[in-house]
A and B are shown apart, each in its own frame.
Chain A
Amino acid sequence: MTSIILLSVLGIINLFLGFLKSKRILLPLVMLFLAVVFGVNLLDWNNTQTYFSNMLTIDNYAVAFTGIMTLTTLLILPFSQNYIDAEDENLAEYYSILLFSLVGAIMMVAFENMIMLFIGVEIVSIAMYVLAGSNKHSLRSNEAALKYFLMGSFFTGVMLFGIVLLYGATGTFDITEIGAAQVGADGTTNTMFVMGLLITIIGISFKISAAPFHFWAPDVYEGTPTLFTTFMATVVKTAGVAAFYKLMAGAFDASLASWFPTMIAITVLTLVVGNIGAVMQPSVKRMLAYSSISHAGYLLMTLVSFNDFSENALFFYSLSYALASVASFGVLKLVEEERGGNHSFAAFNGLGKTNPLLAFVMTVSMLSLGGIPLTAGFFGKFFVFSSVIAAGNLVWLVALAVVLAAIGIYYYFKVVIAMYLQPAGENTKVSASGFAIAVLVICTVLTILFGLAPGLVSHML
């Protein structure tokens, strides 16, 4: 709870700091803020409390995911160096919006009431609409913002409609009470309840870009400035899936039969669309957009299996995915800045020769996203597959995911091949700030560390 208050206050203070002459101080300051929030958040570990007449619960689940999201934001920020160098006049606003949207993300993992979920989702979404269009002079960025906003607000409406139907069926917004009221005295589930449930699922599926509600994602990811794409692909996705899991496992476990087929269909479609779609993409950025759809699919696998293992699997997968994504989007951002906005595979040609360190970081994150041992991504996939197999009757889903993961290796390796096996040609050395290098190294070290000793964080929940 302290983290929510702290982030809101610090966000406002940061807005005022924007009036300062020198913007250089902003980045270290915001990073300091986030480090403080990260520490304060951990104080709530093993100290479950509810707030606002049972609107929010800060339990270990919330603390763990808040930890991932704060850490991710902290790691993303140093890549804003080019905004600082360009003396962007809106820099303070960008930082503040990120902080505010983090508040929404925390509410999404801590909600105890559908209203809170809705407010959390909206805080995050509105912040993202703004950031998607933050590159005002770029047509693509404007397109991304508009597309995201139109589609996003429509699906917000859909989700709200679902919540209202649930309210109509049960007379409450509280998820525990909804959970208690979902099955009537005669053992059947009310039709209005099922409708509300399915419509809510559709609303949230859109937010985490699960197929078939994913069509906005590749265009929006591509058009949005890469800094904020990273945030969307990591923090927003983590928050969305964690909220989704909490909702389904926490509230709707008893009416499993009525939503299970839908969830399975969404999961399978997301896996297939993400992995097959990524194969054909001409640019690394779009490939990563599709790959993030596919990872939403792997994350959703914990949701259809849900059992004793899935919470931890979800946590570990989110963490490994966030680390690898920050590193890969980070390298992508540095490369595309050097190449005048070119984020095709060719832009990575010869990176292994010009920038061995960046190429190594990118390789490790590609291996991690692909789920190869020595990296955290392997154990992420391992724990997710474990949780699904432990569910008993879903071995076929794992078999499908395995085939698709092998396809995944193919498109991740396209980047590796470009970096190491293609001649550099006219590609010059990519310059990177010390801050950015430090973040990339931290992400890589953590990815390998969790790949060798996953036990450090794998069974905390």
Chain B
Amino acid sequence: MITALLLFWPALAALLVLLIKGQGAKKVAFVAALIEFAIALVATLGFDSASGSTQYELNTPWVASAGIGFHIGMDGISLLMVLLTTFLVPLIILSAFKHDYKNPNTFYALILFMQTGLIGVFVALDAFLFYFFWEVALIPIYFIAAIWGGANRIRVTIKFFVYTIFGSLFMLAAFVYLYFQTGATQLAAHSSDVQAFYQLALSSDTQSWIFWFLFIAFAIKMPVFPFHTWQPDTYTESPTQATMLLSGIMLKMGIYGVLRWLLPVVPLGVSQWDELVLILSIIGIIYGSIIAIRQHDLKRLVAYSSIAHVGLISAGIFTLNEQGLQGGVIQMLSHGINVVGLFFIIDIIFSRTNTREITSLGGITQNAKVLSIFFMILMMGSIALPLTNGFIGEFLLLMGVYKYNAWFGAVAGLTIILAAVYMLRMFQGVMFGTKSEHTNAFTDLTLNEKAVLIPLIIMVFWIGLFPNTFLSISEPAVGNLLSIINR
């Protein structure tokens, strides 16, 4: 039941927020998101983390005559994703407090509505339910980005929307095909349940093309090179909150999709293509990093760095060993936390100086000590310095890739060096040096901004120092996953 509560509470709250006129909407939205986080914490406390099986399950018929069920539940991986979502959404809402967006009720209602879609993706255990929420999450983010975005928003967002729909329709086609492979020939005997999909024993050739139908959808969402072209523009043109939602949570949908709906469903297909995917992912790491080094716009820089980080996660996951998968899961959390923090800091700088150009900034440390410290910690997390969250994830991921193929590991390892280059270059340009005309009157963080950043900073160290809190939740689920893949 608690899963259903997690799923529907944000949608209900969205309807409530929609009714509130004026700027009071944001407070209600924030409280609603906090309640959602509290529900997720209650679920975590009652969660048996020693077991790899699905908990808090709910399974009722949805389209009964076609064998499609409303089947939701959480295992360790889902729970971590739900925690990430419910942790970030209140902060994202809080980070919007300093903006006076027009039509605030619609804006915050869309964020909450999207949360339902995101949670739905992470808890759905029926293929068509998963697809349903996958698209439900897309509609609000399109409108958030398109209505409240920057100057090129119309062109950029429609590209994003059509691009992702294009991918996901292939996923739908693959699901329909798989659905017809389950059971006998009668309609009612088919099932789209995740367990039914896991039990399919398809021929290697079939799995080979289904792999691509599914992979395209997930690869576009993550995005994996060369399916990334929508991403930098969309991140740059969207309002900061939409960028945070996209980079912090939505791209995890793609990675989660791989874990739940690709690896265990078509293991033979994966074993044919894993090397290619690793190569693409590693190209993405290098490509994203090198382009990030050349960027002048802070938001674009972080957008490209995100391609690099996601490339490593995707490479680690496709190694199909425990380190790679566990690293992928923990790095999803870390990346979500770091990237949201970085985008928020960029938003703070932009709102004070009206520019995101590195060359027009400089000397901010002199005025804003607290901001500098927070920025530095988040940056260290991104570079994956020991003691920070990024280190745990990237270490495990690189270990996984190294075990798969030492050469791949060596090339992928460049990510840490390259990340240091672009991150330090950014930090140096923005924070040190002489003040520019834009940064002369820079003020330090307000209370509201601290309230957003401090929880993120705490998480950077928590994951960095005590990763076992989180690793132990996902470990049995990952083991379970591996046993299905290697069956």
Contact = CB atoms under 8 A, between A and B. Distances in A.
Interface in B395-429: none
A390 interface: yes
What is the size category of the interface that chain B forms with chain A? 20 to 34
Interface string B132-169: 11011001000100110000011000100110011001
Nearest to B149: A421
A385 B165 contact: no
A389 B177 contact: yes
B146 A417 contact: yes
A87 interface: no
A382 B172 contact: yes
Contact of B179 (A379, A386, A403, A409): A386
B128 A417 contact: no
Contact of B135 (A372, A386, A421): A372
A167 interface: no
Contacts of B135: 372-374, 378
A458 B64 CA distance: 10
Given A406-B165, A410-B158, A421-B146, A386 B176 contact: yes
Interface in B158-194: 158, 161-162, 165-166, 169-170, 172-173, 176-177, 179-180, 187
A398 interface: yes
Interface string A406-421: 1101100100010011
Contact of A455 (B63, B131, B139, B165): B63
Contacts of A372: 135, 139, 165
B177 A374 contact: no
B136 A402 contact: no
B107 to A, nearest CB: 13
A386 B180 CA distance: 8
A399 interface: yes
A142 to B, nearest CB: 38
A406 B176 contact: no
A459 interface: yes
Nearest to B147: A420
A454 B166 CA distance: 23
Interface residues of A, number: 32
B273 interface: no
A309 B136 CA distance: 26
A282 to B, nearest CB: 18
A395 interface: yes
A31 B165 CA distance: 40
A305 to B, nearest CB: 12
Nearest to A386: B176
A374 B138 CA distance: 11
Contact of B136 (A373, A403, A407, A453): A373
Contacts of A459: 65-66, 187
A360 B163 CA distance: 23
Nearest to A460: B65
A253 interface: no
A367 interface: yes
Interface string A142-179: 00000000000000000000000000000000000000
B101 interface: no
A88 interface: no
Given A372-B135, A374-B139, A395-B177, A402 B147 contact: no
B147 A409 contact: no
Contacts of B165: 372, 405-406, 409
B154 A409 contact: no
A32 to B, nearest CB: 34
Nearest to A413: B158
A417 B143 contact: no
Contacts of A398: 173, 176
A308 interface: yes
Contact of A373 (B61, B131, B158, B162): B131
A458 B63 contact: yes
A203 B132 CA distance: 39
B176 A389 contact: yes
B466 interface: no
Contacts of B154: 417, 421
Interface in A329-351: none
A271 to B, nearest CB: 14
A308 B153 CA distance: 45
B187 to A, nearest CB: 7
A421 B147 contact: yes
A52 to B, nearest CB: 35
Contact of B173 (A402, A409, A453): A402
A309 B172 contact: no
Contacts of A406: 162, 165-166, 169
A356 to B, nearest CB: 9
A360 to B, nearest CB: 11
Nearest to A418: B154
Contacts of A390: 180
Contacts of B64: 455
A264 B169 CA distance: 21
A410 B161 CA distance: 9
A168 to B, nearest CB: 39
Contacts of A421: 146-147, 153-154
B180 A455 contact: no
Interface of A: 308-309, 367, 372-374, 378-379, 382, 385-386, 389-390, 395, 398-399, 402-403, 405-407, 409-410, 413, 417, 420-421, 453-455, 458-459
23 contacts: A367-B139, A372-B165, A373-B132, A374-B136, A378-B135, A382-B172, A385-B172, A385-B176, A389-B180, A398-B173, A403-B166, A405-B169, A406-B166, A406-B169, A409-B161, A410-B158, A410-B162, A420-B143, A455-B61, A455-B62, A455-B66, A459-B66, A459-B187
Interface of B: 61-66, 128, 131-133, 135-136, 139, 143, 146-147, 153-154, 158, 161-162, 165-166, 169-170, 172-173, 176-177, 179-180, 187
**6 tightest A-B contacts by CB?**
A406-B166, A459-B65, A402-B169, A373-B135, A455-B63, A373-B132
